[in-house]
C-alpha cells in the first residue's frame, strides 16, 4: 500500500442497510514507521443535496446541501506508528433510526424540522428542472504529524446504501373506493312489419328488438389500495350492482381494459423562503386494452388474482427532508362492457402512500453477485420434508421424469443464487434453465439445470409452506426456501434466489409457482382467468 494512502474497507460493501443494522469495517493507512498520528477520526454523515441550473435561479447554478445527520464513529488521539505499514483501525456502529444534526447545527432553525425525524432512503433523481440526492457516507480522516510541528491530513469517503423498513405487523392495505354510474341504452319498440314481405332473419330481429328491456341504471364500485408496498400485489376490486328495486335481467358484463399509472412528485426548495419546485414523472404500471374478463352483477372481482403483472413497482418510499420531498398519486382508467354498450371510468388516489417493504428478503445490487445479507431477516423455513427417495437417486430420477413426461409446465432462463450461511452472503450457482415439472399426486418439482452441462443445481418439490418473497431492489427476482433440496449428495435445507431477464418473466414464474401451490390443495386455477383477444 503506497505511503500516505488512506481507505475505508467495509465488511459488506454492497449491502443495503436498514435501521439498527451493524456496520463494520476498518480504516487502512499506508503511513511510514516512526511517524506520529495526531488524530484518527471516522464520521458518519447523511446529506440532502439539491442542484439548480442557472436558468431557474436567474444566475449561476447553485448547489444546496443539508447535513441532516452527523455522528462520530471513531475519534482517537495521537499515537506513534511503531509497526510496519499498513496500519489499521477497526470500527463498528449501528445504523441510526432518526436524523440527528451535529451539535453545532442543532440550534439552527433550518434543522428543526428534520431533527429526530425518520431517516430518508438513499435517493438520486435527475430532471431538466433540478438534480437532487440523499446519500450516506463514512468519512475517515488521519492527521499525520511530521517532527511534531507540521501536520499532513489524509481523508477518504465511502458511501452506504440505506433503505427503511416497514414497522409493525403486516396487514392488508387500506382501500380507497370510488363509484361511477352508467345506464344501458334502451331500444324503442319498432312497428310490427308486414310478415309476408320480411325474411326469417328480419322477423327474428324484429322479435328480439321488441323484446328488449328498457334502459337500466347500474353502479360500478372500484376499490384500489391507498397504501402500496414495493413489489407487493396490487388489489383492484371491481363490482357492478343494478340500481332500483325492480328485477332486471342479468346482462353480459366484461372488463375490456385497465390502465394504471403512478405519478411520482419530487419537490425541492432553493431556500427557506422560496416556493417548492416540483417535477412529476409518470410510471405506467399496466396498460391492457384487449381484456375479456367476464363477471356477473353483484360479483366482486379482484383483478390482481387474474392479471399477473398487477403489482406495485420498485419505488422509494414517501419521505421529507428539509429541502427534498417525494410524494405519489395513482390514476386508473377502467373499461367495462355491458351488453352492447361500453363505458369508461376514471378514478384517482390523490395521496398514495408508498411504504418500504419488510426486511425479510435479500437485497440485490445492480451487479451480478448479490450483496451480503443477514440471515436473521430471511424468510422462516418450512417444516422438514422427507424426500420420497434417496438423495443420490434424485438427479437420475428427475432427468428420467423430464424426458419421459409430457414436458415441463414452466421453463425460463434464469440465474440461480444460493445463500451461504457460513459467509452470510449470496453465491451465484449457475446460469441456466428453471423448470416446473408436474408429477404424481399433484406435486410439482422445481429444477434448475446449468446451460451446456445440464448439471442440476436446484431440485426440490414446491410445498404449501413455501413463501415466494420479492427482492426489494429488483423487479425481476424472487427468493424462496426449500427444506429438502436434492441437488447434492444429501437432502439439505437451502435458501434460493432466481433472477430473470425482465419483470414480465419474473411474474410468469410467480404465477406458475403459486399455481403449483394451489394444485396441492386440489383447487383448480382461477375460473375467471383473463383471455386476451387476438388483434389479428
Residue 262 in 3-state DSSP? strand
Find how far residue 204's CA is from the centre of its chain.
56
Torsion of CA 140, 131, 277, 58, to 10 degrees: 100
The pLDDT value given to residue 40: 83
What pLDDT, on the 0 to 100 scale, is given for residue 89? Answer: 84
Q: Parse the chain into domains and list their residue ranges.
A: 6-162, 175-181+202-355, 375-520
Whether the full predicted model's pTM is greater than 0.75, yes or no, is: no
Q: What is the pLDDT of residues 39-67, one digit of tens each?
A: 788 999 998 899 888 765 456 678 888 88
pLDDT at 488: 82
The grid coordinates of residue 428 equal: 451465484
What sign has the CA pseudo-torsion 67, 73, 75, 81?
Answer: negative
Q: Are 386 and 484 in contact (CB under 8 A)?
A: yes
Bridge partners (DSSP) of residue 416 are 430, 498
Per-residue confidence (pLDDT) for residue 274, from 0 to 100: 66
Under CATH, what is the fold of the domain 6-162? Immunoglobulin-like (2.60.40)
pLDDT of residue 364: 40
Residue 514 DSSP symbol: H
Residue owning grid cell 375479456? 292
Indicate the DSSP class of residue 530: -
Low-confidence ranges of the chain (pLDDT < 70): 1-4, 31-38, 55-60, 76-85, 101-116, 145-151, 166-172, 186-214, 244-250, 271-274, 357-407, 422-424, 472-473, 521-536
∠110-112-116 over CA atoms, to 5°? 135
Reported as a single tens digit per residue, the pLDDT across 122-134 is 989 888 888 999 9
Same topology between domain 6-162 and domain 175-181+202-355 = yes
Looking at domain 175-181+202-355, its CATH architecture is Sandwich (2.60)
Q: What's the topology of domain 375-520?
A: PH-domain like (2.30.29)
The 10s digit of each residue's pLDDT in 367-397 is: 433 332 222 222 333 333 333 334 344 444 4
Amino acid at each position: 500500500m503506497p505511503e500516505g494512502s488512506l481507505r475505508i474497507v467495509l465488511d459488506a460493501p454492497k449491502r443495503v442497510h436498514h435501521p439498527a443494522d451493524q456496520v463494520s469495517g476498518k480504516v487502512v493507512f499506508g503511513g511510514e514507521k516512526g511517524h506520529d498520528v495526531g488524530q484518527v477520526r471516522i464520521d458518519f454523515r447523511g446529506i440532502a443535496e439539491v442542484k439548480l441550473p442557472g436558468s431557474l435561479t436567474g444566475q449561476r447554478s447553485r448547489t444546496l446541501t443539508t447535513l441532516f445527520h452527523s455522528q462520530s464513529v471513531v475519534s482517537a488521539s495521537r499515537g506513534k506508528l511503531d509497526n510496519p505499514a499498513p496500519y489499521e483501525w477497526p470500527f463498528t456502529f449501528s445504523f441510526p433510526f432518526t436524523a440527528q444534526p451535529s451539535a453545532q447545527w442543532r440550534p439552527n432553525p433550518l434543522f428543526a424540522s428534520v431533527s429526530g425525524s425518520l431517516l430518508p432512503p438513499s435517493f438520486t433523481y435527475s430532471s431538466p428542472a433540478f438534480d437532487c440526492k440523499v446519500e450516506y457516507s463514512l468519512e475517515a480522516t488521519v492527521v499525520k504529524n511530521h517532527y511534531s510541528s507540521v501536520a499532513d491530513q489524509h481523508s477518504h469517503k465511502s458511501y452506504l446504501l440505506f433503505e427503511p423498513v416497514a414497522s409493525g405487523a403486516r396487514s392488508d392495505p387500506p382501500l380507497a373506493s370510488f363509484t361511477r354510474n352508467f345506464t344501458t341504452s334502451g331500444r324503442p319498440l319498432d312497428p310490427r312489419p308486414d310478415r309476408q314481405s320480411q325474411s326469417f332473419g328480419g322477423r327474428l330481429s324484429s322479435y328480439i328488438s321488441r323484446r328488449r328491456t328498457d334502459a337500466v341504471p347500474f353502479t360500478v364500485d372500484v376499490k384500489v389500495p391507498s397504501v402500496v408496498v414495493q413489489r407487493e400485489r396490487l388489489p383492484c376490486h371491481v363490482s357492478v350492482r343494478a340500481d332500483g328495486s325492480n328485477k332486471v335481467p342479468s346482462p353480459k358484463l366484461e372488463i375490456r381494459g385497465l390502465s394504471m399509472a403512478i405519478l411520482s412528485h419530487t419537490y425541492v426548495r432553493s431556500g427557506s423562503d422560496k416556493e417548492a419546485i416540483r417535477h412529476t414523472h409518470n410510471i405506467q404500471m399496466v396498460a391492457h386494452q384487449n381484456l375479456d374478463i367476464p363477471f356477473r352483477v353483484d360479483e366482486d372481482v379482484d383483478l390482481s388474482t387474474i392479471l399477473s403483472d398487477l403489482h406495485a413497482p420498485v419505488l422509494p418510499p414517501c419521505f421529507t427532508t428539509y429541502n427534498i420531498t417525494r410524494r405519489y398519486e395513482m390514476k386508473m382508467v377502467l373499461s367495462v362492457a355491458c351488453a352492447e354498450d361500453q363505458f369508461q371510468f376514471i378514478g384517482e388516489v390523490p395521496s398514495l402512500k408508498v411504504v418500504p417493504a419488510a426486511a425479510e428478503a435479500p437485497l440485490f445490487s445492480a451487479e451480478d453477485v448479490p450483496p451480503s445479507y443477514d440471515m436473521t431477516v430471511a424468510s422462516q423455513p418450512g417444516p422438514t420434508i422427507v424426500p420420497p427417495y434417496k438423495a443420490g437417486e434424485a438427479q437420475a430420477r428427475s432427468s428420467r421424469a423430464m424426458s419421459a413426461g409430457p414436458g415441463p409446465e414452466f421453463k425460463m432462463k434464469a440465474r440461480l443464487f444460493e445463500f451461504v450461511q457460513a459467509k452470510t452472503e449470496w453465491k451465484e450457482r449457475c446460469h441456466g434453465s428453471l423448470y416446473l415439472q408436474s408429477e404424481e399426486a399433484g406435486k410439482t418439482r422445481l429444477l434448475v439445470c446449468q446451460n451446456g452441462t445440464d448439471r442440476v443445481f436446484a431440485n426440490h418439490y414446491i410445498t404449501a409452506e413455501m413463501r415466494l418473497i420479492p427482492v426489494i431492489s429488483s423487479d425481476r427476482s424472487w427468493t424462496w426456501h426449500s427444506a429438502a433440496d436434492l441437488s447434492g449428495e444429501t437432502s439439505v435445507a437451502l435458501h434460493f434466489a432466481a433472477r430473470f431477464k425482465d419483470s414480465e418473466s419474473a411474474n410468469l414464474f410467480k404465477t406458475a409457482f403459486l399455481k403449483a401451490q394451489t394444485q396441492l390443495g386440489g383447487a383448480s386455477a382461477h375460473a375467471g382467468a383473463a383471455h386476451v383477444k387476438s388483434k389479428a
